[in-house]
Amino acid sequence: MFNSNYNPKESQMLEIIQALHCLQKAENHLLKLKALLQAEEDSSEIEANSVPQIIGEALKTQQAKSKKNAEFCENRKKALILAQIEKAGIELTPGLKSLIKNSDCQNLQNALEIYETVYSNRQVYNSAGLFYTILNNENQGR
């Protein structure tokens, strides 16, 4: 779907990051299960009322780690997509940077594909404004 500026190496990097993200999700689920099993084993030594509290604390810890890993992967994906946006000749204005920061990676990728597919062979006078509009529409589900 990309034009001649498309770099397959960047796409491979993005796929690797997505695969790592999936592996981290699986690892986090296993860690949660391990924490639950450990809490169940320890429950024989602990009062029944404190078991839910221990499980809750273990889950909160795992969720915080999972969120941190997800944010790291999301930022790496955005950095790769940002490089693709710059390569497409789109000037990164402050407003566009703000919209990019608040957009998810899938919407960014979709907007870039639309921009490159529809507008790559045309002269665009305000590439930043056009990309902003496309991305804003993607974020709103249009």
Chain mean pLDDT for the chain: 78
Residue of higher predicted confidence among 41 and 34: 34
Tell me if 1 is assigned to some domain: no
Range of the domain at 25: 8-140
Indicate yes or no: pTM above 0.95. no
Tokens of 8: 């397959």
Helix (H) or strand (E) holding 21: helix 8-42
pLDDT tops 70 at residue 25 = yes
83, HSE (Cβ side, Cα atoms, 13 Å): 12
Total tally of structural domains belonging to the chain: 1
Does any domain span residue 133?
yes
Q: What is the dihedral of CA 60, 62, 68, 72, to 10 degrees?
A: -160
Q: Is residue 55 part of a domain?
A: yes
Structure token digits, residue 57:
């604390």
Residue 63 lies inside a defined structural domain of this protein: yes
